[in-house]
Amino acid sequence: MLTLLKLLKDGRFHSGEALGAALGVSRSAVWKQLQHLEAELNLPIHKVRGRGYQLAAPLVLLNADDISANAPTPAWPVYISESIDSTNAEALRLVEMGRVAPFLVLSEQQTAGRGRRGRKWASPFAQNVYYSLVLRIDGGLRRLEGLSLVVGVAVMQALREAGVKGVGLKWPNDVLVGQKKIAGILLELVGDPADVCHVVLGIGINVNMQKTVEVDQQWTSAQLETGHAVDRNYLVARIGAQLQAYLDRHQASGFSAIQAEWEQNHLWQGKPVSLIAGVSQIDGVVLGIDGQGALRLNVNGVEKIYSGGELSLRLRDDS
């Protein structure tokens, strides 16, 4: 199917006869493959008698050479899949197989994409960016402090470079435009964080998605915000460049070197919020974050610190 998709990706009409000749199959076999494309990848295909078949919109697939061409420095080794369960899961499998970090895993589609707290991540084919960078961490818990927040700043800056205006951060791992989510971050560790471990920096970005029924919260995409399709290969390259710069700063000086920049871009800074932890709810006002990336809240006039992967932050109705 991928070969057929590459023939159609220019968005022009192609006759069944020409497609069959290129693939070495009959026109009826082409028709069956087209039906599979529509059903399995949810790609609308126009069929016009006398003209042939045309994708509803041109398609730009992920390509390692195009990513490298947009990167200011040599990119990390990249593994691109047509469809996998999730890029984080694939990255962890590659670590178990002994693949040497750093390396990057991308996919056109995820069949079991995951967000924080077990949420499903909508992952339509060839519309968004599903990105997992694997790093080796040698003997330093300090290198993990505030790491997900560092990734958030890098993603925010890459989206700004792609023309998305009004993009900012929400503690701990979301990137928003206004109140709408455009990207999320999921970090996973394997190994001993006090000795040698690997961390997977999982990033999901809504790039060219314009509609979905799979998301149960307000969301937006780069295309919805800019009014035009965004080149995903360019965006992947810019994410890599921003990540490299911020990771270098983080390694050299710790999270404290990035703390002020993160707070300046926190869209909920100074806002009344509710912090949800299981069945518990804590109401307070956001003061900022500390040097390890934990949330600082004013709770009834007292500053309190909160951290943990299962916490969820929501704006209060009186905000």
The annotation places the binding site at 86-88, 110, 114-116, 181
Q: Residues 6 or more apart from 86 whose CB is under 8 A from it?
A: 110, 111, 112, 113, 114, 121, 130, 132, 202
Rg of the chain over all Cα atoms, to the nearest angstrom: 21
How far apart, in whole angstroms, are the C-alpha atoms of residue 162 and residue 119?
27
How far apart, in whole angstroms, are the C-alpha atoms of residue 195 and residue 302?
36
Is-cis flag, bond preceding 102, omega within 30?
Answer: yes
* Active-site residue flag, 314: yes
- DSSP secondary structure letter of residue 145: T
How far apart, in whole angstroms, are the C-alpha atoms of residue 308 and residue 255?
17
How far apart, in whole angstroms, are the C-alpha atoms of residue 75 and residue 79?
12
Helix (H) or strand (E) holding 241, with range, is: helix 232-253
Catalytic residue among 120, 136, 142, 314: 314
Catalytic residue among 170, 181, 232, 238: 181
Alpha-carbon 149 to chain mean position: 14
How far apart, in whole angstroms, are the C-alpha atoms of residue 98 and residue 93?
9
278 three-state secondary structure:
coil
Closest by CA to 116, choosing from 287, 313, 317, 294, is 313
Dihedral sign of CA atoms 115, 117, 118, 122 in order: negative
Annotated binding-site ranges for biotin: 86-88, 110, 114-116, 181
* Active-site residue flag, 181: yes
How far apart, in whole angstroms, are the C-alpha atoms of residue 255 and residue 246?
10
Tokens describing residue 17? 């006869």
DSSP per-residue letters across 180-223:
EEEEEEEEEEEE-TTSEEEEEEEEEE--S----SS--S-B--HH
How far apart, in whole angstroms, are the C-alpha atoms of residue 118 and residue 201?
16
Residues with a known catalytic role: 116, 181, 314
